């Protein structure tokens, strides 16, 4: 497994010779691997990686060819369900993993946006449609407290969202 991860550049691999002349491999975390570990804000891309490897998300790929020929949807064919979000939300573990994935991704991306983009300085109210757990809007309001933030999403998503100051 370590060699596989090294071949994908998640890990580094170096050959080291010990004092007895024996050669062995030493593995370390490559720069891309840092995205799988929590950063200073406690978020990483690990939940997104885990979510992408869930059978519920992998199985539709096995139906892609047939679905392209038939004009149907791979997710529907794999799971007899039209909406992947509703299907995934039925199991608490998948729902939590999905919400954590979206939260972490939003936090990582929005942090970079807020470092560069200054277009929010004059805004007084902002609605984040499909805002999930509220990561984006909370980061915006924390940097620009004059913004009255509204996190708008489906009821089953909002019920799991933490409350943030300045977010309605």
pTM reported for the whole predicted model: 0.74
pLDDT in tens, 21-40: 999 999 999 998 888 899 99
For residue 16, give the H/E element and its range. Answer: strand 11-17
Question: If pLDDT is split at 50, 70 and 90, which confidence band does 162 have?
Answer: confident
pLDDT in tens, 85-96: 777 778 888 888
C-alpha 131/C-alpha 74 separation (Å) is 26
Q: Quick one: pLDDT at residue 158?
A: 83
Mean pLDDT, range 134-156, rounded to an integer: 91
Q: CA neighbours within 13 Å on the CB side: how many for 100?
A: 18
SS3 of 13, please?
A: strand
Q: Based on the number of CB atoms within 10 Å of its own CB, is 41 exposed (0-12), middle (13-18) or buried (19 or more)?
A: exposed
- Rounded to 5 degrees, φ, ψ at 124 are -105, -25
C-alpha 141/C-alpha 161 separation (Å) is 16
Q: Quick one: pLDDT at residue 71?
A: 94
Bridge partners of residue 39, in order along the sequence? none
């Amino acid at each position: 497994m370590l060699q596989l991860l090294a071949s994908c550049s998640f890990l580094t691999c170096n050959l080291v010779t010990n004092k007895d002349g024996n050669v062995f491999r030493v593995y370390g975390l490559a720069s891309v691997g840092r995205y799988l570990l929590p950063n200073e804000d406690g978020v990483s891309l690990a939940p997104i990686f885990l979510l992408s490897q869930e059978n519920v998300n992998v199985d539709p790929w096995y139906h892609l060819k047939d679905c392209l020929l038939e004009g149907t949807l791979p997710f529907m064919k794999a799971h007899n369900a039209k909406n992947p979000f509703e299907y995934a939300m039925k199991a608490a573990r998948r729902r939590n993993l999905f919400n954590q994935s979206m939260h972490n991704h939003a936090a990582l991306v929005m942090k970079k946006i807020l470092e560069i983009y200054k277009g929010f300085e004059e805004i007084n109210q902002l609605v984040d449609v499909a805002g999930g757990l509220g990561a984006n809007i909370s980061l915006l309001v924390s940097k620009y407290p004059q913004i009255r933030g509204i996190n708008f999403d489906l009821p089953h998503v909002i019920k799991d969202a933490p409350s943030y100051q300045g977010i309605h």
